[in-house]
Structure 1
Amino acid sequence: MEQTIIHLVDDDSWVREALSRLLRSEGYEVRAFGSAADFLDSCLAGEVECLLLDIAMPGIDGLELQRLLNRSGAMVPIVFLTGHGDIPMTVQAVKSGAVDFLTKPVDDSELLRAIKQAVDEASSTRKIREKTNQANARFNQLTPREKEVMAAVVAGKPNKIIAAELGAREQTVKVHRGRVMTKMAAESLVDLVRIADRITMMKSISLTEA
């Protein structure tokens, strides 16, 4: 099995060495950086499974790096480490998506628990992204009329109403509906609605776009 890679950004070399030893002893691979700039220069943020991030650093600090990653659309699970955090700082970090906010010197068991949570979140995010990409690819294979029918179906409209709105025969709508279910790999109406939600929420794709 491939080792899970933990990315660590802290300007304190002693902290980097101590945490790296701990994480490697737990079976993780560690990539450590002395600054946020070094991390940004060396990593593809979308591939980071867990980022241990110091708050106070010269140049780009931890919260600013979090903001930069969020603006780029990278969904990076972050565990913050700080020697002098406060409540407003903690609230800001968590509201911006941080998994946890730990105070140095950090308890080993607390750190490992937070890392596991971050890695689990990264795995879930990856699966959601894969399903979204698959749904998007299937959606793009639909004809313009099938997209219209799909939009109406997930809106809860019966075949008779859809037919009237599209100026088509009800039997024709049933045929399109069946093709939509097949092409979208949906086993039920509930399944199709969930797929549609995934497309519109995660990819901002309009179901009515031709």
Structure 2
Amino acid sequence: MLKTSGYRVQSYADGAEFLKEARSLQPGCVLLDIRMPKIDGLQVQEALNERGIRLPVIIMTGHGDIPLSVRAMKAGAIDFIEKPFEKEAIIAAVEAGFLLLGRDRSIQDRAEEAALRLQVLSPREREVLDGLANGLPNKTIAYDLSISPRTVEIHRASLMSKLNVRSLSEALRIAFAAQDRDLQ
């Protein structure tokens, strides 16, 4: 059904086979059935999360109940579809997954760019920026780093120049985007 709707489909004999290749796959949506050979769909979803593989997961089952659906959604599934399902339901779920994938890719790209931009900062400039990102005033940053408030101002001006930003809010956006990357 997905192939005839224009999607490239790759299927696997079981969840274990999929997990062997999951890291090397092109970004896409993952459709998992609750009942699969060797390892069930929720266990595959859990393994993806543990490995940091962030792909949109759609769980489908002919044996669903509320606790299963809650467990799948808490683990990050974007949809839980019960069989038999209408073609439109699965297509809508896959389209939603690809929208999320595009948004996540955009966020990841911005995070990577931000991390690269921060590499031009000296360790002390980075410490000052971290203090600013935590909402600390210059005097507190100075005290924490055992430097004068004037030195904090000099580092702040230098980091803004190196990052090629005009305002503190622009510098903070870069710092927060890089933090998002570190959390992924």
TM-score, with length taken from structure 1: 0.76
Shift of the 185–105 alpha-carbon distance from structure 1 to 2, 3 Å rule, reads farther
Q: Give the total of aligned pairs.
A: 182
Contact 1:46 1:76 in 2 (8 A): no
| SS of residue in 2 equivalent to 1:142 | coil
- Which residue of structure 1 lines up, in the alignment, with residue 105 of structure 2? 126
Structure 1 runs (4+) greater than 6 angstroms displaced: none
CA shift for structure 1 position 60: 0.8
Give me the CA root mean square deviation. Answer: 2.3
For residue 91 of structure 2, the aligned residue among 108, 112, 135 is 112
Q: What amino acid does structure 1 have at the position aligned with 2:155? A: H
Is 1:85 matched up with 2:85?
A: no
Is 1:63 matched up with 2:42?
A: yes
Is 1:168 matched up with 2:148?
A: yes
CA shift for structure 1 position 136: 1.8
Contact 1:135 1:184 in 2 (8 A): no
| SS of residue in 2 equivalent to 1:23 | coil
Counterpart Cα distance in 1 of 2:8 and 2:165: 39
Counterpart Cα distance in 2 of 1:85 and 1:127: 34
Is 1:100 matched up with 2:79?
A: yes
TM-score, with length taken from structure 2: 0.85
Is 1:190 matched up with 2:172?
A: no
CA shift digits 1:95-117 (9 cap, x unpaired): 00000000111111111111111
Bigger Cα displacement from structure 2, 115-124 vs 89-98: 115-124
Contact 2:121 2:162 in 1 (8 A): yes
Counterpart Cα distance in 1 of 2:168 and 2:3: 47
| SS of residue in 1 equivalent to 2:2 | helix
- Which structure has more relative contact order (CA 8 Å, sep 6+)? It is 2
Contact 1:83 1:104 in 2 (8 A): yes
In structure 1, the gaps of 5 or more residues are 1-21, 205-210
In structure 2, the gaps of 5 or more residues are none
Bigger Cα displacement from structure 2, 151-160 vs 73-82: 151-160
Q: What amino acid does structure 2 have at the position aligned with 1:106? A: F
| SS of residue in 1 equivalent to 2:9 | strand
Contact 1:146 1:176 in 2 (8 A): yes
- Which residue of structure 2 lines up, in the alignment, with residue 19 of structure 1? none
Contact 1:46 1:74 in 2 (8 A): no
Contact 1:154 1:189 in 2 (8 A): no
CA shift for structure 1 position 86: 0.7
Contact 1:46 1:75 in 2 (8 A): no
What percent of counterpart residues are identical? 37
